[in-house]
Amino acid sequence: MELSKILAPEAVRVTGHLTSKKRLFQELGDIAAAAYGLTAASATDGLQERESLGPTGVGHGIALPHARLHNLPGIQGVFIRLEKPLDYDSVDRQPVDLVFALFAPKDSGVDHLKALALVSRTMRDASICQKLRANADPAKLYAILTETRGTQAA
C-alpha cells in the first residue's frame, strides 16, 4: 500500500487558524467531500464519533483522526498542515499542526489498519515532518507525503 493510492492531491491543504477540534473535523469533512464526493456531514460525524472513544493526537504535533463510513469505495485520506497549532488533547498535551485523516469503508477490516499503520510510520519520520512544516504549498506537501520510500517495519 502506498500513500499515493489513498491520498489525492486535492485532499492536501494548508489552513490558517481553526478554533477547535470540532471545526478541524468540519474542515476535514469538507475537504473529503470536495476531493472524494463523501458527504461532509457523515465524514465529520464519523471523525467525532471515533474521537469520543479516545484522542487521536499521537504526540509531537501530529493527529491521525480516522473514521469508518458506509458506502465508501475505498480508503481515502486528507492531510492538513495548520499554520497555527491547535489544542487537540494529544497524548503529550502538545498542540497539533500536522493532521492526516483517514476514511475507510465500514467493512475494510485489516486494510484500514494497514493504511493507519502506513500513515503512522510516515508521520513518525522526523525528517518528513520537518519538510512538511517547512512548506506551505499543497503540491509540495503532497509530493513529500507520497514520495516512494523503502519498506519499513511497523
* pTM (predicted TM-score): 0.92
Question: Could you state, in order of their start, the residue ranges of all structural domains in the chain?
Answer: 3-145
Catalytic entry in 17, 60, 66, 70? 66
Question: DSSP states of 1-58 as a string?
Answer: --HHHHEEEEEEEEE-----HHHHHHHHHHHHHHHH---HHHHHHHHHHHHTTS--EE
Question: Under CATH, to which class is 3-145 assigned?
Answer: alpha beta
- Active site (annotated) includes residue 66: yes
Longest Cα–Cα distance of the chain, Å, equals: 37
Q: Are 17 and 23 in contact (CB under 8 A)?
A: no
Read off the pLDDT of residues 105-154 as tens digits, 9 standing for 90 and up.
988 878 888 998 999 999 999 999 999 999 999 999 999 999 865 444 33
To 10 degrees, what angle do helices 21-36 and 40-51 make? 140
